[in-house]
Structure 1
Amino acid sequence: MFGIYLKRELSRRKKAALVIALGLALGIALVITVNSVSAGMQQAQDKVLKSLYGLGTDMTVTKARAAPTGNSSGRPKFDFDAKADSGKSQSSDRVTTQGGQSLKSSLVTRVAAQKGVASAVGALSLNVTKVDGSFTQGKAKSSTSGSGQQGGPGGGQNGGTGTPQVQGGGASFDVNSYSVAGVDVTRQDLGPLATSKITTGTTFTSAQSDAKVAVLATAYAKENKYTVGKTFKISGTPYKIIGIAAPDSGESTTDVYLPLKQAQTLGDAKNKVTTIYVKATDSKQIDTVKAAVQKNISGTTVTTSADLADTVSGSLSTASNLATSVGTWLSIAVLVAAFLVAALLTSSAVSRRVREFGTLKALGWPSRRVTRQVVGESMVNGLLGGALGIALGVGAAAVVTAISPKLTAQLGSTGGGGGTGGPGVGGPGRQAASAARNTVDIALSAPVSVTTIALAAGLAIAGGLIAGAMGGWRASRMRPADALRSVA
């Protein structure tokens, strides 16, 4: 009886049921869309942190660079000799450590021994500034005058020579900067190379801890037309290219990867590192581990992924803030409005059914049965609205994913590293990103999770219950006499 009557009443009031369902559907669709976009923002930020911070890295330990003392400015200095041979090419490499003051390699062991630390790996960040070009020697020439009068000193009666002048000559030099990261070849799962994948060739082996081999970033190799098997030089030392690495997301902040010992030799930093990458045993205890490291190893700066996330700016950060604040509140407002509209429409529909409910009560229907009938109709409307809302929300999320709008994320220095990349990347950075920022382009997606679908279903049921409760309460208060007055 309940089902038959429910079906008949819904069929009679298709338009009213559709209006209520559409109102709920719009609110639920907006909630799904905002939740999916927010999830996509979170995934994008995770990609940024993984590409710039280090896959599996929970924190880094660095030391702020000390201010230059005395006459030392810390700026590159190049010395060239003026060769007698005009046009002969000259070249010089200036290798400097980046990312903060150097730390003793023994600190890696001390950090690894701290409670809550699963593993720790040291890395050395270098910047190589290469200057090459040539001097062109000028030629001395004397000017002559055609005057018939006696010339000056050294001149004759029919002409003379002036003061010799140097003509031509000069210098033409090209400056190129690139970043180098020294990698602990025994632990490549943690550190600068952990966020990249070898696309051509191979990565380092444990036996190559001090070998003259290198892995290049894809962009740097393409720019300089380097391929696997070729050799290039740094400060006169030849290195064989054994692999080309592409970052998992974004752009690599390092151009050249070398075994750690080779990087230490190049940078005149024996048994030194600039960054210690740390993985915690429990991701929920990162703050505790950070405090322990700072307490037991003084003078260091510990930066967690949460600290680094605070420095992410750009359109990704702006869009994320909008999705979190404006989008969330807008979803709540629209959803509340949809619930109120559904409740008011249901209550209004009940008011127009005075004769019907009064007659049913006169026939012996108790108030609870009338209430159950109204709630049942509202629940069907709510479920219909939920289905439509889920379809609309999933469709909107699919459109966002298909369009894949590009967002940029800029990672600023947190102050501990002193390099262009900040402490999160240990300092190596593309020179184009100069003073303080690394920029990564991320394609936004809007994944719809099972949790989001479950939330939408729950909202649909809640909307139906709220509307049914209000309408049912009003229907339960009707008396058979109301129906008789309506007939009269």
Structure 2
Amino acid sequence: MFARYLRRELSGRRKQTAIIAIAMALAIGLVIIVNSLSAGVKNAQASALESVYGVGTDVTVTATPTPPAEGERGPRFEFDSEDGSDTGEGTTAVSQSRLTTGRGSATFDAAAVDTVTAQDGVQAASGVLSLTNMTFDGELPQAGGATGTGTDSTQGQAGPPQGGGGSFDVNSFTVMGVDGNAASVGPLASATLQTGRTLAASDAGTYTAVLDSAYATTEELAVGDTITVADQKFEVVGIVAGSGSDAETASNVYIPLDVAQELSDSADLVSTVYVQAASSDRISTLKTVLEGALPDNTVNTQEDLASSVSGSLSTASGLVSSLGTWLSVAVLAVAFLLAILLTISGVSRRTREFGTLKAIGWRNGSIVKQVAGESLVQSLIGGAAGLLVGLVGILLINVFSPTLTASASVQGAGPGGQAGGPGAGGPGGLAQQASAAADVVLNAPLTPAIMLIAVGIAIVGGLLAGVLGGWRAARLRPAEALRSVA
């Protein structure tokens, strides 16, 4: 009887059913789209961070950058009178390459890698040393004090040689020393091998290098060529590309960690330790463990780094997290309120009906059940339509697949967000290198959880409106109800 009466009442109130269903459908469809966009933005942020953070990397360990000591000067190029070769035109051709960590760079003891590896919950760990290679190349005048002429590499400009006639360039590129685990965790793990091979543990102590594809193209270098790092010739054994469509990797050049430490006078030092957790659901716990084991270091997760993503991707994230969320809440509130008001209004118009039902023996619970059932069915119809609206919206987003620009850099800050990072020579440099023209395609995934949330919203809305309307109907006294319409 309940089902037959329910069907008859709904068919007799098609207008009310349609209004409630449409309002609920629009609200639920918007919720689905906003939640899917939010998941898509998170995926896009993770993609933008891959070139910096590395596939499989869950935690990074860095050191807080320290300001240079008072009076400390940056590395300088200095030449003796015997250096260089006579060009026969009154100048001396000189060339010098230096590999440095930069002023105030954030390096720390490489023993931290072993400390990290020994912690419970760590699957793998890799230490890297981020450096900058500065090259002075040109001609200096032989007269007027050419000897001792230098340049401050931190500014990239040379002091004017006395006597005139000098011509030179100061160029730089980033270098990253990586250890034997670089292929499985860390920035190099996220790179795609284009030609040649990547670095392996067997390359330790050798002058071999892997280049970023964008840098290799700019410098017209290929596998088998040589590149000069700190006045040493390195054989190019591989070329890698970033994970994005035009993204660069975390560094221009990758060399074995022990060689990088030796050439930069940074023995037993690293700038970042990349950590892969044994279990993805224990990352927060692992962060706490590592903070206890390395109290003088900064420990960050990929979630911490996600806030550093800028560009149009950051704008999209802000819109989804603020405007989209509040708009969804507002529309849901309006849909719920509309369903409640229409249900209560319908109860008021059915005063005689409910009075008659109570007169023939219907209990209050039966009245509430009847009204709640009608409202629930109306909301479920709206929920089904809302799922369709949401699916269509998600399909349109994925068909057009808007491309967003993303930069994983913070102004002068490293992964931990510390101001005054050491540029390309420290953790901040990793983010700077990954920021070059990284285009990320935004896709809105549809997950079962989002569909369950939509169905749950429809059920809650229907029950809320039905219970309030049924409670109002149950308060009617049979005699008063019948007398009010006599």
Structure number, greater radius of gyration: 1
Unmatched 5+ stretches in structure 1: 139-168
* Distance apart, 1:180 and its partner CA: 0.8
* Distance apart, 1:460 and its partner CA: 0.4
Structure 1 counterpart of 2:342, from 330, 336, 345:
345
Residue number in structure 1 paired with 2:150: none
300-309 or 455-464, which moves further after superposition?
A: 300-309
2:394 pairs with 1:389: no
* 1:258-286 deviation digits (Å, cap 9, x = unpaired): 11122223323344333333445541313
* 1:153-185 deviation digits (Å, cap 9, x = unpaired): xxxxxxxxxxxxxxxx84443443211111112
* Distance apart, 1:197 and its partner CA: 2.2
* Distance apart, 1:189 and its partner CA: 1.5
Structure 2 counterpart of 1:95, from 72, 75, 99:
99
Give the secondary-structure state (helix, strand or coil) at the position aligned to 1:36: helix
Structure 2 counterpart of 1:125, from 105, 124, 130:
130
Residue number in structure 2 paired with 1:155: none
2:44 pairs with 1:41: no
1:450-469 alignment, distance < 5 Å: 450-469=448-467
Residue number in structure 1 paired with 2:22: 22
Residue number in structure 2 paired with 1:151: none
* 1:95-119 deviation digits (Å, cap 9, x = unpaired): 2125825434344334434566554
Check whether the contact 2:107–2:426 (CA below 8 A) recurs between aligned residues: no
* 1:81-102 deviation digits (Å, cap 9, x = unpaired): 5834349965432321258254
Give the secondary-structure state (helix, strand or coil) at the position aligned to 1:374: helix
* Distance apart, 1:376 and its partner CA: 2.0
RMSD: 3.5
Identical residues among aligned pairs (%): 43
Structure 2 counterpart of 1:179, from 174, 179, 183:
174
* Distance apart, 1:133 and its partner CA: 4.2
Residue number in structure 2 paired with 1:211: 206
2:16 pairs with 1:13: no
Q: Distance in 1 between matches of 2:201 and 2:403?
A: 42
Structure 1 counterpart of 2:251, from 239, 250, 254:
254
What TM-score do the two structures reach when normalised by structure 1? 0.80
Q: Which amino acid aligns with 2:127?
A: G
* Distance apart, 1:196 and its partner CA: 1.3
Check whether the contact 1:57–1:190 (CA below 8 A) recurs between aligned residues: no
Give the secondary-structure state (helix, strand or coil) at the position aligned to 1:411: coil
2:473 pairs with 1:475: yes
Residue number in structure 2 paired with 1:294: 294
What TM-score do the two structures reach when normalised by structure 2? 0.80
1:56-455 alignment, distance < 5 Å: 56-62=57-63, 64-65=65-66, 67-68=68-69, 70=71, 72-77=72-77, 79=79, 81=84, 83-86=86-89, 90-98=94-102, 100-114=105-119, 117-134=122-139, 170-249=165-244, 250-280=247-277, 282-295=282-295, 298=296, 300-362=297-359, 364-401=361-398, 402-412=400-410, 413=413, 414-415=417-418, 418-420=421-423, 424=427, 427-428=429-430, 440-455=438-453
* 1:113-150 deviation digits (Å, cap 9, x = unpaired): 45665543322212112343456999xxxxxxxxxxxx
* Distance apart, 1:192 and its partner CA: 3.3
Give the secondary-structure state (helix, strand or coil) at the position aligned to 1:4: helix
Could you list the structure 1 runs, at least 4 aligned residues long, displaced by more than 6 angstroms after superposition: 135-138
* Distance apart, 1:429 and its partner CA: 6.3
Q: Which amino acid aligns with 1:73?
A: R
Q: Distance in 2 between matches of 1:177 and 1:422?
A: 11
Unmatched 5+ stretches in structure 2: 144-163
* Distance apart, 1:67 and its partner CA: 1.6
Q: Distance in 1 between matches of 2:131 and 2:459?
A: 60
Residue number in structure 1 paired with 2:2: 2
**Counterparts in 2 of 1:355 and 1:416: CA distance versus 1, 3 Å:** closer
Q: Distance in 1 between matches of 2:93 and 2:426?
A: 38
Check whether the contact 2:59–2:287 (CA below 8 A) recurs between aligned residues: no
* Distance apart, 1:311 and its partner CA: 4.3
* Distance apart, 1:340 and its partner CA: 1.2
* 1:422-465 deviation digits (Å, cap 9, x = unpaired): 8646x45657x9xxx87754333322221111011011011111
Q: Which amino acid aligns with 2:101?
A: T
Check whether the contact 1:185–1:205 (CA below 8 A) recurs between aligned residues: yes
Check whether the contact 1:183–1:192 (CA below 8 A) recurs between aligned residues: no
**Counterparts in 2 of 1:410 and 1:188: CA distance versus 1, 3 Å:** closer
Q: How many residues are paired up? A: 450
* Distance apart, 1:338 and its partner CA: 0.9
**Counterparts in 2 of 1:407 and 1:354: CA distance versus 1, 3 Å:** farther
Q: Which amino acid aligns with 1:123?
A: V
Q: Distance in 2 between matches of 1:329 and 1:181?
A: 44
Residue number in structure 2 paired with 1:31: 31
Q: Distance in 2 between matches of 1:59 and 1:39?
A: 23
Q: Distance in 1 between matches of 2:36 and 2:204?
A: 45
Check whether the contact 2:174–2:253 (CA below 8 A) recurs between aligned residues: yes
Q: Distance in 2 between matches of 1:421 and 1:88?
A: 31
Q: Distance in 2 between matches of 1:107 and 1:383?
A: 57
